[in-house]
């Protein structure tokens, strides 16, 4: 078998989806993102007898000098042969040739094969995130006081240690990024008696169907912010809400589904050969 990755083509979709159906206990999401990833580029596969048996995608962020590696899948019969490693190396070499400094990926904390793989390749855990899902719903918003002018609150954030989650990619939250998000009215803060009690970023996912993402950056009582997003999703006809936060727990809200812990993993590319 030739392990060299090649760029995926539209016609690979059927073969790839064949081995990306029941990857996890809940299924898989590759069918939702395949078309966008093909358009975006940097979607690769490895073949066996001219049939794709693995895939992976990378997003390139020249401003941040970062690549984001995602959707690594190897068909069950071809695992433990070094294919995932080969695909990750392919992206890292490409990134280094453009003088990128970091490579990142997100791994569920229970996914031992992937964590072992990432650690073997020099990735380190830089933070732990929790993921919650919630259905959109119309609720009374009378008492929900949300504001879009939050630049002062953002200045208090230690940007070094914060990230912006854009379509499931964790991007460093630079001051430029804050200004851009603010001008697009995507940053929200919730105040009580002039005191900010929650700060978050609300985005409509480009890759995932029907999804609004709420990233809670900080908050002591983010309950109303979550309710605000439920309403917003309802008004905008989105059915799914995904909440991402480093906070260890969220308030009890009806239909707020189980949390899934994830690790954000990072490798400094310039230190590696």
Ligand X SMILES: CC(C)(COP(=O)(O)OP(=O)(O)OC[C@H]1O[C@@H](n2cnc3c(N)ncnc32)[C@H](O)[C@@H]1OP(=O)(O)O)[C@@H](O)C(=O)NCCC(=O)NCCS
Spatial distance between the Cα atoms of 173 and 237, rounded to a whole number of angstroms: 28
Choice between 108 and 157, CB closer to ligand X: 108
Q: Taking CB under 6 A as the rule, does residue 48 contact ligand X? A: no
Q: Which of 4, 116, 128, 147 binds ligand X (CB under 6 A)?
A: 116
- The CA distances from residue 148 to 66, 186, 189, 212, 219, in Å, are 29, 8, 7, 17, 16
Number of helices followed by number of strands (H, E) in the chain: 7, 14
Choice between 71 and 172, CB closer to ligand X: 71
Choice between 54 and 190, CB closer to ligand X: 54
Q: Taking CB under 6 A as the rule, does residue 236 contact ligand X? A: no
Q: Which of 33, 53, 67, 83 binds ligand X (CB under 6 A)?
A: 83
b vs e for 151-172, b when ≥16 Cβ sit within 10 Å of the residue's Cβ? eebbeeeeeeebbbbbbbbbbb
Cα–Cα nearest to 199, from 266, 150, 141: 150
Q: Taking CB under 6 A as the rule, does residue 47 contact ligand X? A: no
Q: Which of 14, 80, 195, 254 binds ligand X (CB under 6 A)?
A: 80
Q: Please check whether residue 90 is in contact with residue 43, taking contact to mean a CB–CB distance below 8 angstroms.
A: no
Q: Which of 17, 38, 117, 157 binds ligand X (CB under 6 A)?
A: 117
Q: Which of 82, 139, 221, 257 binds ligand X (CB under 6 A)?
A: 82
DSSP 3-state assignment of 42?
coil
Q: Residues 11-40: x/- map of binding to ligand X (CB under 6 A)?
A: ------------x-----------------
Q: Residues 93-112: x/- map of binding to ligand X (CB under 6 A)?
A: --------------x---xx
Residue 153 Ramachandran class (φ > 0 left, ψ -120 to 50 alpha, else beta): alpha
Q: Taking CB under 6 A as the rule, does residue 195 contact ligand X? A: no
Q: Taking CB under 6 A as the rule, does residue 229 contact ligand X? A: no
Q: Can you give the three-state secondary structure of 149-205, one letter per residue?
A: CCHHHHHCCCHHHCEEEECCEEEECCHHHHHHHHHCCCEEEEEECCEEEEEEEEEEC
Q: Which of 16, 58, 67, 72 binds ligand X (CB under 6 A)?
A: 72
Residues that bind ligand X (CB under 6 A): 23, 72-74, 79-85, 107, 111-114, 116-117, 120
């Amino acid at each position: 078998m030739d392990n060299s990755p090649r760029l995926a083509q539209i016609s690979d979709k059927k073969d790839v989806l064949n081995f990306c159906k029941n990857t996890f206990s809940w299924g898989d999401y590759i069918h939702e993102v395949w078309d966008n990833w093909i358009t975006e580029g940097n979607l690769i596969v490895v073949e066996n007898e001219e049939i794709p048996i693995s895939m992976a995608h990378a997003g390139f962020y020249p401003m941040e000098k970062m690549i984001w590696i995602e959707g690594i899948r190897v068909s069950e019969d071809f695992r433990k042969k070094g294919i995932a490693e080969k695909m990750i190396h392919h992206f890292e070499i490409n990134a280094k040739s453009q003088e990128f400094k970091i490579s990142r990926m997100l791994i569920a904390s229970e996914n031992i094969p992937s964590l072992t793989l990432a650690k073997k390749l020099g990735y380190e855990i830089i933070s732990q995130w929790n993921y919650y899902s919630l259905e959109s719903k119309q609720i009374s918003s009378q008492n929900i006081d949300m504001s879009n002018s939050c630049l002062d609150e953002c200045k208090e954030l230690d940007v070094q240690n914060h990230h912006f989650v854009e379509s499931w990619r964790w991007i460093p939250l630079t001051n430029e990024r804050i200004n851009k998000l603010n001008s697009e009215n995507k940053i929200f803060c919730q105040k009580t008696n002039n005191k900010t009690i929650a700060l978050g970023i609300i985005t409509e996912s480009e890759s995932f169907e029907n999804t609004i993402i709420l990233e809670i950056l900080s908050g002591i009582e983010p309950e109303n912010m979550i309710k605000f997003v439920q309403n917003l999703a309802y008004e905008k006809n989105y059915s799914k809400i995904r909440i991402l936060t480093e906070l260890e727990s969220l308030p009890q809200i009806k239909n707020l589904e189980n949390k899934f812990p994830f690790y954000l993993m990072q490798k400094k590319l310039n230190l590696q050969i």
